[in-house]
Structure 1
Amino acid sequence: MRGSFAGFEGSAVIKRVIGLPGDSVSVETPQGDRPTVLVRPADGSGTFTVNNPRWRGRVGTRVLGCCSSDGSAGKRSQTRWSTVPDDSYWVIGDNWGGSDDSRTYGFMKTSDIRGVAIWRLTPLPSFGLLENADISLDPAP
């Protein structure tokens, strides 16, 4: 992604898309080593928990729950759910505790997305195609 995602003007950043236009997103304040990220797809098919094993052990200082009407945590209102507007996405980093993402800056505009990451270059032991097989949407309890 390259563009005007607040704070990253002109810089390339890689984030994982969690919420598509029309989806509702919520991030519960972390309990332990990772956040609880919930998604309600626009098609009304239920509520799902995003299961990303990469979040385990990736704790930093940015352990924000969310979401306010603009998709961020900083302006959180009484409601914890936020609906992704048309022409936007809700994104989060794999190192969620050390990442500035939609919890910080709100929704990312479609026009700011420049590509899809398919290769990991570093660290060298992880060089190769990016795999998403271990990430899933599980029915929320």
Structure 2
Amino acid sequence: MTLKDIALLVSNQEDSAEASQTLTKKIIVKVATLNVVALLIFGVALVYTIRDYQTFTGSTQKYLLIILSGFFVVISTLGLVYLNRTTITPLAKLFKLFKWVDTVQFLTISLLIVLHIITFYVFTAEVFQSSMNPTLQQHDRLIVYQFDYTPKRNDVVVIFIDGDYYGIDESHYVKRVVGLPGDTIAVNASNQLLINGIVVQDLPLSQVDSVKDWIEFLPEGKIMDGFYFVLGDNVANSHDSRNIGFIREQDIKAKVIFRFYPKVGVIE
């Protein structure tokens, strides 16, 4: 028996044992689906939080997701127990319960999935600087990937600038990774920055000495493990590793993967 048939019976104020049985099964399936989804999200969120995977998201949001998903696990479990022990009549009342459960299930699952995604995998960000021109413009809206991210060469990344460590105001930078741990870094006689012998950038004269200072004490001229060299695409107007030095891996929080406003496209 379909929902359309059941709705017709309800509109005609008729009862049917078959319709009640069918509707009860559908309600149980929906509540059980909510229970499974909430349990999966609760378990995954708990494991990710315990293992402390590197993410941009703070602990409060992670704990909130764990509590919320756990709450719906308990509620849906109690609902299943109630449905298996109770016979609901008449059909009109059962049909109203079905519509209510259907709506709540859809909204709850959608909420949990969205919260899980933005807590552990991606989030949105806005650009408030011009240091990545022309790749990124001020006020571009971005989608950023954060889960257990390991920086790779040429990735455009979001960096947390720890004021205590870098000696400047605490903020967030968007830069491009150009030097990886183990890479050889040098400045040649033409004031060009070289990574593994390849010219990366013609250094402005005002920054040549500071870059040489940063690389002077590197063992064999190689970037140390756990550190990266980052630059802004806007060579003339970027505060980056030329000024503040090598960036700790723990401070590189996420990779910019997509721009959705005002232009739309993948960031490379």
Q: TM-score, normalised by structure 2?
A: 0.33
2-side partners of 1:8 and 1:96: how far apart? 21
1-side partners of 2:205 and 2:257: how far apart? 26
Percent identity reads: 30
Does residue 64 (structure 1) correspond to residue 214 (structure 2)? The answer is: no
Q: 1:8 to 1:113 in 2, by over 3 A?
A: farther
How far residue 39 of structure 1 moved from its aligned partner, in angstroms, is: 0.7
Counterpart residue type for residue 225 of structure 2: D
2-side partners of 1:37 and 1:97: how far apart? 14
Q: 1:84 to 1:22 in 2, by over 3 A?
A: same
Structure 1 equivalent of residue 192 of structure 2 = 36
Structure 2 equivalent of residue 138 of structure 1 = none
TM-align CA RMSD: 3.3
Q: 1:97 to 1:28 in 2, by over 3 A?
A: farther
Q: 1:119 to 1:83 in 2, by over 3 A?
A: same
- Structure with bigger RCO (C-alpha 8 Å, 6+ apart): 1
Q: TM-score, normalised by structure 1?
A: 0.57
How far residue 120 of structure 1 moved from its aligned partner, in angstroms, is: 3.1
Alignment of structure 1 residues 41-120 onto 2, 5 Å: 47-50=197-200, 64-65=207-208, 66-68=211-213, 70-71=214-215, 82-120=221-259
Q: Point out where structure 2 has 5 or more consecutive residues left out of the alignment.
A: 1-158
How far residue 107 of structure 1 moved from its aligned partner, in angstroms, is: 0.6
Residues 29 and 63 of structure 1 are in contact (CA less than 8 Å); yes or no, is this contact kept in structure 2?
no
How far residue 98 of structure 1 moved from its aligned partner, in angstroms, is: 0.6
Q: Point out where structure 1 has 5 or more consecutive residues left out of the alignment.
A: 41-46, 56-60, 132-141
Residues 161 and 173 of structure 2 are in contact (CA less than 8 Å); yes or no, is this contact kept in structure 1?
no
How far residue 26 of structure 1 moved from its aligned partner, in angstroms, is: 2.8
2-side partners of 1:14 and 1:62: how far apart? 23
Structure 2 equivalent of residue 23 of structure 1 = 183
Segments of 4+ moved more than 3 angstroms: 27-30
2-side partners of 1:105 and 1:93: how far apart? 13
Q: 1:90 to 1:17 in 2, by over 3 A?
A: same
Give the paired residue count. Answer: 104
How far residue 113 of structure 1 moved from its aligned partner, in angstroms, is: 0.7
Residues 67 and 103 of structure 1 are in contact (CA less than 8 Å); yes or no, is this contact kept in structure 2?
no
Residues 26 and 38 of structure 1 are in contact (CA less than 8 Å); yes or no, is this contact kept in structure 2?
yes
Q: 1:37 to 1:119 in 2, by over 3 A?
A: farther
Counterpart residue type for residue 160 of structure 2: R
1-side partners of 2:188 and 2:206: how far apart? 10
Considering fraction of residues, name the structure with more helix. 2
Which has more radius of gyration?
A: 2
What secondary structure sits across from 2:178 in the alignment? strand
1-side partners of 2:249 and 2:237: how far apart? 24
Counterpart residue type for residue 198 of structure 2: F
Counterpart residue type for residue 67 of structure 1: K
